Every structure is written in structure tokens, then in C-alpha cells.
Amino acid sequence: MLRWIRQQLGFDPPHQSDTRTVYVANRFPQHDHYIPQKFADNRIISSKYTVWNFIPKNLFEQFRRIANFYFLIIFLVQLMIDTPTSPVTSGLPLFFVITVTAIKQGFEDWLRHKADNEVNGAPVYVVRSGGLVQTRSKNIRVGDIVRVAKDETFPADLVLLSSDRREGTCHVTTASLDGETNLKTHSAVPETAISQSVSSLEAIVAVIECHQPEADLYRFVGRITVNHCEEEIVRPLGPENLLLRGARLKNTKEIFGVAVYTGMETKMALNYKSKSQKRSAVEKSMNTFLMIYLVILLFEAVLSTILKYAWQAEEKWDEPWYNQKTEQERNSSKILKFISDFLAFLVLYNFIIPISLYVTVEMQKFLGSFFIGWDLDLYHEESDQKAQVNTSDLNEELGQVEYVFTDKTGTLTENEMQFRECSINGVKYQEINGKLVPEGMAEDLPDAVDSNLSEEDILFLKAVSLCHTVQISYDQADGLGDRQANGILHQMEYYASSPDEKALVEATKRIGVTFNGNNGETMSITSFGKLEIYKLLHILEFDANRRRMSVILQTPSGEKMLFTKGAESSILPYTKTGEIDKTRMHVDELALKGLRTLVIACRHFTPEEYIEIDRRLHEARTALQQREERLADVFSYIEKDFELLGAVGVEDKLQEKVQETIEALRMAGIKVWVLTGDKHETAVSVSLSCGHFHRTMNILELVQQKSDSECAVQLRRLDKRIKEDHVIQHGLVVDGASLSLALRQHEKLFMDVCRNCSAVLCCRMAPLQKAKVVRLLKTSPEKPITLAIGDGANDVSMIQEAHVGIGIMGKEGRQAVRNSDYAIARFKFLSKLLLVHGHFYYIRIATLVQYFFYKNVCFITPQFLYQFFCLFSQQTLYDSVYLTLYNICFTSLPILVYSLFEQLVHPHVLQNKPALYRDISKNALLSCKPFLYWTLLGFCHAFVFFFGSYLLMGEDTSLMGNGQILKASRQLMFGNWTFGTLVFTIMVITVTLKLALETHFWTWMNHFVTWGSIAFYFIFSLFYGGIIWPFLHTQDMYFVFVQLLSSGSAWFAIILIVITCLFPDVIKSVFYRHLQPTNTQKTQLNRNGIGISCLDSMCCFSDGEKACAPVGRMLDRMIGRCSPTRVGRSWSTSDPYYSNDRSILTLSQVEATPC
């Protein structure tokens, strides 16, 4: 316990060395001075809270929010000093917000606890006490030997000891970790692979030394020392020996492995990612508005305090006859009294800060995010995948995107590779009907063409079919030899980690060189009917720095040789023999056709060379320190002096509607940048074919720059050319090396060039370079909103860096999806996600924020004005119950429903007219002008509420039916609570009807909450004021509301003041729509759109209309409102956007109705 406390406080870190020592089967040394290391247990904890810390931890997190902390201070002030309002008025809304948020977070954490308990309680089998013992997953310890059966997931990170196969191999799939569905082969060291029984496994004496836990799924450095026949044998351990927790065993009956990392130290747990902490532009604007209103609040409180003391300077007002001071009050400190009065006014006006704004925004974002998943237009039937929302905090940011950064392979393209052409020994070939045909020859060739293949051609095909990591899956997990003997090789299926490897192996199979399998020690191929078995000596794995992979084999004749494949820039410079110039030219030609290119080469080793290579590889792979650096040095020593064999070109076809999507984004004012690791020529060709670059666009290049000075000169040249040819559009092509130089010392010049280009293509990009480009633009002076979209692990850094990250559910795993904010199945869905959903989310939440501040200004300003009529005595205008329920009940539901369903125009129109997206760009609806409009409107309406009621009802004595006030003066105003209730009633009706005027898309739910809120207020007030409540200290409101409604003059005042407030808004809307209409308003008024007929105006009328209908129709069109029940959505079947739309956002019935 003491050790755990020290670890939590940071005094005793659990891992004090860079390595850990694991004793297999927990056979610890028997000497006395051995101290076993402490390791984590195997429990997975994804929950945030426990029963004991939920309340304090949750409260701490909630009160870190400024608004919650502010209301807590106000509540404490009300408790400590004599304030005009009850502490309940602040405490109850605060309690409501805190409780709702706590329940939501507690429920989510309970679900996490439930999932954790299922995982931790799963049954597993462990080798203990000479047999297999069933236990729970959470009881596995480091060093335990665990048995895993076919199709089970690994309960911890295990080093493979043995499997049911003699060679000690097994197949696993890591789909739940990185989304890769291909089978990966893992192997055990030979000394433990022979131990396939429980008794022999428990007899193993072995020690594993490895690095401490790290998050990288593809990195594992260790070694195992096995006592075999009284001899210590040291073997290297790498990623191919480690079975990761969460991965699943496939095509293998059972395996045994020793646990090296458990619980929260497994790689899967270390890769747990918390929710995105990105903040939207709307949230930043909301915090700015909050600070402005806080300043207004402080100003009103200070002004009221000063005026109170100015007024009380006269003795008759300082101590009137009806309110004599006590001796203690006369002798109290004036400074303390001033502070006390200031705090009292602060409490009186505190409702100008809307506490319920945050909880309403959270509910709107949470509930609104379901629309994306429910939208059938974002559902991909072929893969049965719908859109995902990983974080709802950024919904409105989808409507503010200015730059889109996209990957190419798998994002713009299908990532389905097909072999097209190849170059062998300087001759170009095409595959026609399963035959290699030299370029230019006709298709109808004799079958004998294959027999003309030279030895160089066949060696090239063998290299392609042997240099890879492709695995073969069978229906039953039998050995390779059995399959061959049974003669049923046709049942095998190739699995590869990359689609191009699979395409190449399948192509060589069609041509005549078939890859039969890899059992870990040998690789078998059938070359034109002849079986050949190669001994697999070493695999030099692919990495992003080398950009190539190699295999070292022993041929059937006993010769040692290396086959390699990779990008032309990583192989051609190291080539000494072969048709280098012709192959380079062919590679460029293939790239211009948009094909992905790979260069194939080989190297022959003498026996002496191979012995030296084998020694160096063994030393590097058994090193515990700096293993990667040592391996890189050895790989560089091996991979040189190549003999060039040729090159291949595979096609990756474009996804559907990519060109239309990019064009729609461009029309919406969004610039698209393509960031890819592909070759320059390939990337340019694909950019032209997908519409990223136009044929008429002037393509500028910043490629193959060698020095800073050369790069600077080229950048200035490009900048000058852009300024001279400012009429035409420009596209920029940059490669990774030149980008590094440009970002080193010339960032500003580079960004100036990029911003003036319509489209930018960055090729040969490393993953971190992609993120750096996004960060560079994101932090530029304009601070544009960026979006990154990709499908692979190499896109994760870019996706995390951008304001909005979108993952494509492609064939390169699910890492991009797991780390994204949103996930879609195809690039074409991006159009609707931004132009429709983004547009709706933004206008909804922008109006929600502005409206909340508006209605609270309307609420508190009469309270401030009333102080001028009560000698700043801090008398409240409203009853405390009304103060409490105004934001919680009376005005909360209409704005919430509005923020979920509002549509300025129909989704089809938004998607068909992308330019409408420009109307809301750059946070247009939350800029200074709309903010001032809503704020001033709130103050104006508040003045009308107060002084309208005062002027109309100030001398009315008919209200007081009991005759208590025979002659009312302007100071008495026919009764304090009656006047306050009248103002409050007018205010509730006005702010609710103001929102109704702002509503363009009416559903039954809008009608229900709008008119229901007004009705609820009246019913509640009658009920509240019609009963004497025994638990209330005073009965100030008893019968007040009933008497108010019994007065005809009160009803006249309510109607007149509401109309006075709202009529100018209607006039303003009419004139603005005719004099300065936005593009959106023009679309609403346009009745002649192609295939849209009446929907652009959003109003349709039946044929039998009344005489006044034309006037009503004109007003409806001017204001831009409609009722869904009157909208006839008659779309032209020739319009591609409309005919296939299945959006759930259409809440009304879709039917064809003529206008």
C-alpha cells in the first residue's frame, strides 16, 4: 500500500530501468538476494471514476468551467450576506445543471465499468502446478504461461512459446487494434517451439529481457535466453514474436505464450486515446460573449451601488421613517457596507449570465450528432458502414471549414490495386488474358508467347512472387505440405498488409509463377508447372525511411541471393547493373498514366559475404539498446550494389464522385490540398483525373530543391509569376524534400505562394510532414479552420492536428477512424457532411447562443431599471420562483428544439448550390455585427417591456379589486408584484414569439414546445398564485396572476407591447430581404429553380386559395418561412442530387405537389 501511495505521488516510479526481466513460468532465481520486480496486474481500467471519488472528482471538473464557478460564488454570496433574492434562485439552476451533467457522465462511466468487468472477468487458461488452470483474465501475472485457442483474443501481450504446428508459427488478425484484416504470421524461437505439451512447457527454463512498455504497436525489442541441453542459447525477439492483447488467433488450433506486459501496460491499453480536446470557433465566441456580458454585469452592479449612495446622500432617503437603522448599522464600516451592497446588486443582476446555456449547448451537440449517423445518404451499402461521430463537440465546425487536406491512396482512390504494366530488362509489357505481351503487340497472339520469356523475365516474375509478406489462408489449418499433397491449392486465398502486394502476387499467379506459401523457414513457388522451394533466411522489413523491403533466400541450387522492391528513389541510386536509364524512363511513363510504381532488383552473395551479413544481422537483432539504429546500419550495408530487374505499375482507380465532390468544395470556397507519399508524376496524374488540378490551370512546381538558397530563389520566382498572372488559376506541386527546405527558413514566403494558389499538391510526404503542413496553415495569421481526411495510419498525425479530423473506413486499417472526430465510408460523403450538416449545425448553434444572451438581457434589464423607482433598495422585480424557472422551464425547450431541427433551406438546395456555404464562413453569424444586433435588441425590448407596462398601467386602479390602493401614483405603480408579473408575462410571450419569427422550418415539435411553453407559463402561474403554499415564508404572489388576467387593460397592454416589440423585427426582415438579401435569402425567394419549383421559396399553396392568400403568401416569402405540411417537395428526376436523396433530415412527408 505504501509503495502504491509513493508511486501515485511520483516518489517511487514503478519502472526504474529501461528493461524488464521476465522469468518464464515464474521460475525465479533461488538465491536470497534476488528481489522480484513489481508489475501491473492484468486489469483493464477504462473508467474515469470510482464509487469513492465520483462526487469530488466530478464536482472539481465541473467547477473548472467559468460559468459554473461564477454561479457557485453567487450562491455562496447569497448564503453569507443579506441579498434581495433567495439563494434558491441561483442554487436551484446550478444544482440542475450540475446534476444533469453528473448523471450523464456517471452513466457513461458506468457503461465503461460494465465493459471493463466483462473483459477482466473473462475465463482464461494458465499453466500452473503441472496442469491447465482456469482463472479470470484479471488474475494473469507477468511470467504466466497462457493458453489461447483458435478464434480467441489474447488476454495480455504474450511472447509466443509454441503452437500446434511443428515450426511454432501461428496466424493472427489485429483488426481490433489497427483495423488490418489481413493475417499476420508470428513465430516462436526454435528452442521453445518444440514444447507443445503442458508438462514440457512448465519444464522450460528461460528468461526474457525486453524494453519497458511503450505504445508503438509495431515495435518490440527483446531477447530470450533458453537453457537447452545445459547450454544457454540467446535468441532475438521482435514484433514477429509478440502477440498483442486484443488481437485474435486465426487458422491455428492453439498456442502457448508467456505474458510480458499485462493490464494497463499492454500496448492496446497504452494506445487508449481520450476524447479530442479540440475547441470549436463557436465555443471560443461563446466564451468571448460571456466575458462581455460579465463586464456589463459588473458595470450595472457598480453603477447601481454608486447611485444608491448618491441618492442616500439626502438624509430623508438615507433613513426614512419606515426603515430606521439599528445602532450596529450606523456604526458599521462604510467600505464593508459598500462591498456588501455591490455583492447584493451582483446577485440581483446575475441572471444576465445564462447558466443553462452550457447544458443546452451540450444537449444540442449530443442529440444533434445522431443526425449524421442516421443520414442514409452517408450510409455505404457495399461495406454496410454508416457515418460515425467520435466527438460531438465539433459539429458546428463542419460549417466553417476553409481548407481540406486529403490523402490520396484510399481516400480519393479505392485502394484496390490491379496490375497493369511492367518493365523487364528495359522492355515494357502489358498483361493481356493472363499473358505478358510486349507493348505494341496485338492481343490475338499465339499461346506460345509465354514460352518466349527469357531467363531475365522469369527471374523478375520470381522476384515479384517471393519478395513480399503475403500470407495464405485455407479453409482448414493444415500444414502446407498436406495441402500440396492433397492437390487442393485452388482453395487458398492471399492476404496481404498492403493491396499492391496482393495484386502483384495474384498477377504472377495468372502469368504462370504461383506463390504456394511460407511456413517460416521456406517459401514455395510453382514456376510454369515446376515446383521450387526456397529457404527463407532473412526478411528485411519495410520502413518509411528506407521505403523498400527485401528478402534473403537460398535458391534450390544453394545460391544465396537478395530480392528487393520499393520506390524508384530508394532503389535506382543503389543499382549498379541493368537497364537503368530505360527503366527510369518507363517508371516515369507509368507514373504519368496515374499508376503506382515499384522497382524490383536483386543481389547475389558469395558464401563469405553471406556469413558476414548473417553475423551482423544476428548482433543487431539481439541488441537491447539502439536496436533500430543498428539494424538500419546493417540494412544499408546489405541493400546496395543491386542488379536491376525491372519495374511494375499497378492501378488504383478513383472512388465514385470524387471529381464532383472536389468541385463542390471549391464552389463552396473551400481550398483542397492533396498530401500524399506517392511519386511526383503519379500524384499529378491523379490530381488531374480527379479534378483537383484543371487542364487549364497553370501548374507551378517546387520540386527537387537541393539547398536553402535554391529553394528561396524558386519561391520568389513562383511568387512573382503568380502576381504577374493573377487572372488565371494556379496549382502548386511540392515534394517532401523541397518542403523541408521551404519550411526551414522561408515559411512566410512559402505560405504566401500557397495561399495564392487554387490547389496545392504535396507529394513524397512523410506522416509528420503532413501534420507540419496542417499546423503551418492552421497557425497562420488568418487562422483558417482546417479539415484533414485520410484512411491510413500515416494520416493519423494530420487528422489529429487539424481542427476537424475525418477518417475514411478504408482498407488500410482503422487507426485513422479511431483517431478521428468523424468517420465516413467514402470521400464523396464529405460534400453532404460539410455543405448540409455543417451548414445546419452552425446556423442552429449560432442562433442558440445569440438567443440565449438576448433573452437574458430581456430578463435582467427591467430588474436594473426598476432600481431607479425603488431608491436602489435592491428590491427584486420578479418573484423568486419566476427567477428560478425562467431559464429552466419557461424558455428552454423552444430554443432546444429549434437548435435540433432548424433548416434555412432544404438539404437538397444546400447540396445543389455549394456557394451558399460561403454565407456562413468565417464565423459570420457570430461576428461583431450580429452580436451587437441581438444585444441591442434585448435592451430595446427590455425598455419596451418596462416602460410600456409603466406608462400603460401606472395609474390603473381597477386592478386592485380589494380597493387597497385608491389612488396609485407612478411610484407605487399599482402594486409591486402585479407590475413585475405583468412585465414577466410580456417578456415570456415576446421572447418565445421572437424565436418563432426566426424559425424557418416548422415541425409538429416546434409547434408543441412554442405554444406549449406559453400555455405552461399561464397554467403554472395560475396554479402557483391560486394556492397558499405552507412551506413558503411569504405569500406575495397569492391571487396576483388571477387579478392580472381579470383586467382588460392588462390584456390590452400585453398584446400592444408584444406587437410593438416584434413588428419592427418583421419590417426589418422584409426590407433587408429586398434591399440586401444574402445568397441564402435569394435561394429562399427563388421559385424558378431547375427541378425545384416551389421548394426554393419553401412555400407551396393549394389551388383553392382564399382572397387574402396572395398577401399572406407574399409576407411568408418575404420572411422566408414555411410550414412543412404545405411544402411540396417536387424534385426533377433528372437532377442527380435530388433523385437519390434519402436524408432523415426531411421531417415532413415527401410528396409531389404542384404550386
| Cell, residue 1034 | 411569504
- Gap between the Cα atoms of 143 and 259, Å rounded: 5
| Cell, residue 107 | 452513466
| Phi–psi pair at 524, nearest 5 degrees | -115, 135
- The Cα angle at residue 582 between residues 581 and 585, in degrees rounded to 5: 90
* 3-state SS assignment for residue 567: coil
* 3-state SS assignment for residue 437: strand
Who's near 887: CB < 8 A, 6+ residues apart? 93, 351, 354, 355, 356, 856
- Gap between the Cα atoms of 708 and 743, Å rounded: 10
Please indicate whether residue 919 is annotated as part of the active site.
Answer: no
- Gap between the Cα atoms of 1098 and 1124, Å rounded: 8
Report the interhelical angle of 66-80 vs 334-349 (nearest 10°): 130
DSSP, res 378: G
| Cell, residue 706 | 537541393
| Cell, residue 168 | 511454432
- Gap between the Cα atoms of 162 and 187, Å rounded: 8
- Gap between the Cα atoms of 803 and 790, Å rounded: 14
- Gap between the Cα atoms of 1154 and 1102, Å rounded: 8
| Cell, residue 697 | 490551370
SS3 string, 234-280, reads EEEECHHHEECCCCEEECCCEEEEEEEECHHHCHHHHCCCCCCCCCC
Looking only at the bridges linking them, the beta strands covering 822-824 and 388-389 are: antiparallel
Q: Enumerate the β-bridge partners of residue 250.
A: 171
* 3-state SS assignment for residue 825: coil
| Phi–psi pair at 773, nearest 5 degrees | -65, -45
DSSP, res 879: -
Distances (CA, A) of 107 to 102, 362, 829, 931: 8, 15, 32, 36
Q: Enumerate the β-bridge partners of residue 723.
A: none
Contact 691, 726 (CB under 8 A): no
At which residue does the C-alpha cell 524461437 appear? 189
Q: Where are the alpha helices (DSSP H) in 17-157?
A: 54-62, 66-80, 87-120
DSSP, res 829: H
* 3-state SS assignment for residue 1118: helix
Catalytic one among 407, 735, 879, 919? Answer: 407
Contact 566, 598 (CB under 8 A): yes
Report CA 601 to chain centroid distance, whole Å.
42
Q: Enumerate the β-bridge partners of residue 125.
A: 134, 147
Q: How many CB atoms lie within 10 A of CB 43?
A: 18
Contact 249, 262 (CB under 8 A): no
Torsion angle, alpha carbons of 26, 31, 34, 39, to 10:
10
Nearest Cα neighbor of 1144 from 394, 401, 393, 386 is: 386
The DSSP string of 149-173 is ETTPBPSSEEEEEEESSTT-EEEEE
By residue count, the chain amounts to: 1155
Q: Enumerate the β-bridge partners of residue 513.
A: 527
- Gap between the Cα atoms of 289 and 618, Å rounded: 65
CA 560, 565, 571, 576 dihedral sign is positive
Catalogue the active-site residues: 407
